[in-house]
Chain A
Amino acid sequence: MCPSFRAAAEAGTITPHCVDALSIVGGFLAAANGVPFQPVAAWKGSDVTRHNPLIARINCPFTGTELFATKAIRPKLALLHAQEGDAYGNVRHLSTMTYADQMIARAADKVIVSVDRIVPTDEIVSRPRETTIPCIYVDAIVEVRYGAHPCGSFPLYNIDEGHIEHYATLAEAARKGGRVAGQPLHEYLDRHVHRPRDQQSYIESVGGAVRMRELEEEAASL
């Protein structure tokens, strides 16, 4: 679990809501379909229903049966990452897992997609069933090499687990120890978040071409 999220929740600086995948995905699904809510037939017996601004009890308009509804989630802005896309914003995931990306693209007001590489539109047109998000849902597309780092972008490069664990260790120290223990986390943020001018300098700060090559080789070996 992310230590900075946990620390912020415990300090009360953020208000986490008790949502689960079904409430989030149901909310995106409703927004993607242009309806105000998605009926849900689960969640019975869980305290989550009592602490959740997204969940209401409803009755089926046909049978009267009691069930839940999850409210449509319409993000003002969605930032997505995929492996390939074209200049018009047609997006093609090469990864096996696409999670809720297609639904989020349809649910959000504005959608910006970063891709590891821009490919010619002819290549998209040659295999249209592989287009995962059509351009009509995309406001902007931008080529960002290794744009998912420190997460992975399969099958191109692996998750940088060493980097994420390093960050998590610093963040946990900050959570437990306050300001002094938090100094290394500040140095991390300065080095990798605030100081890099662009993607190239960010990549240099996390190990450069040598590290990226390792992550590519790891992904290829899976």
Chain B
Amino acid sequence: MSQFDCTPAELQAVVLSRELQDGELGAAGASAAIPMAAMMLARLTHAPSLQIAGEMFVNPRPKQLWNSMLDDRALGACEAAETFLELFGHSHRGLDFFFHNGMQIDAYGNINLHHIGGTIDQPTMRGPGAANISYAATSRRFYICTGNHSARVFVPRVDFITSPGYLDGPESFQAAGLQGGPRLCVTPLAVMNFDRATLRMRLKSVHPWSTQEEVTARTGFDLGIEGAIAHTELPTTEELDLLRVKVDPKGLLRKRD
């Protein structure tokens, strides 16, 4: 990977930042260094009026990137400090975009953070659950961002739906009264989007350090590949400079596992 200028996490942040539009309102969850970097980078490039308001703060100005978005280290400086009451305020108004990660992610973008194996009452492995599920239903779109692209994560069907993606496809999505849904899934290896007709995840681009074969082997379901798949566009020099100097001076996204 050393011949490439950026780490997978940095590329994920840049890919996501390009998706966010000026003037939109969005938020990231509790453990969300990459989404937070994406929002901060978008503000410094094409979206200076991007608004960040999730759960109990408005427009934070962190001096560096943090793994946790929900304590005073990341949020000590912000334009407004609210309380958890705003969970309802932000939820009912809805956000333009939100980000999710999952222990399991399936072909329809459903997210599982509760348990793997067994039942919810007798789990083989218990997960953390979700801090806030409501944004899945009230956001106009969401992005899936994970640091782990493997067949254990990308399963045909999640064991438990913590946050709904497209459920079982168009009919069930509509029947549940859902709107929005997942737009992209960005991993250390690839970018996936969703087929407009079937709402199934499909491969959009492969990062230059990976291959279509590797992505296929590490995904537990068919990615609807037809023909040649493009490489993910790498960050520009300007994007990478801003990311490293202004957004992530401590290099949280440069650490390689």
A residues with a Cβ closer than 8 A to B are 1, 5-6, 9-10, 12, 15-16, 18-22, 25-26, 28-29, 40-48, 51, 95-103, 152, 154-155, 158-159, 222
Question: Given A1, A43, A96, which contacts B137 in the complex, CB threshold below 8 Å?
Answer: A43
The reply to whether B88 and A26 form a contact with Cβ atoms under 8 Å apart is: yes
CB of B83 within 8 A of CB of A103, answer yes
Tell me which residues across on chain A come within 8 A of B77, comparing CB atoms: 96
Chain B's interface: helix, strand, loop or mixed, by majority?
loop
The answer to whether A46 and B161 touch across the interface, beta carbons within 8 angstroms, is yes
Looking at chain A's contact residues, the main secondary structure is loop
A21, B132: Cβ atoms closer than 8 Å: yes
Q: Tell me whether B167 is interfacial, beta carbon within 8 Å.
A: yes
Q: Which of B133-164 contact A (CB under 8 A)?
A: 133-138, 160-164
Question: CB distance A43 to B134 under 8 Å?
Answer: yes
| B194 on the A face (CB < 8 A) | no
Q: In the complex, what residue of chain B is closest to A154 when comparing beta carbons?
A: B72
Given A6-B126, A99-B84, is A43 in contact with B133 using a C-beta cutoff of 8 Å? yes
* Docked pose: A26 CA to B86 CA in angstroms: 11
Q: Enumerate chain A residues within 8 angstroms of B220, measured Cβ to Cβ.
A: none
Q: For the complex, what is the distance from the CA of A41 to the CA of B161, rounded to whole Å?
A: 18
Contact flag A96-B78 (CB < 8 Å), given A45-B136, A103-B84, A159-B71: yes
Q: Which residue of B lies closest to A95 (CB)?
A: B72
Residues in chain B near residue A102, CB distance under 8 A: 83
Stretch from B18-26, B116-124, B239-247 forming part of the interface with A: B116-124
Within 8 A of A (CB), among B83-100: 83-85, 87-88, 91-92
Bound Cα distance A22, B54 (Å): 13
Query: Please, which residues of chain A bring their CB within 8 A of the CB of B129?
Result: 16, 18-20
Q: Which of A15, A48, A97 contacts B133 (CB 8 A)?
A: A48
* Extra pairs beyond A97-B71, A154-B71, A222-B76 (20, CB < 8 Å): A9-B126, A10-B124, A10-B126, A18-B120, A20-B130, A20-B132, A21-B132, A25-B87, A41-B91, A41-B138, A44-B164, A45-B176, A47-B114, A48-B114, A96-B76, A97-B56, A97-B57, A98-B81, A102-B83, A155-B76
Contact B176–A51 (Cβ < 8 Å)? no
Question: Which of these, B63, B88, B138, contacts A29 with CB under 8 Å?
Answer: B88
A32 to chain B, nearest CB (A): 10
> Is B70 close to A, CB under 8 A?
yes
A99 CA to B132 CA, complexed, in Å: 14
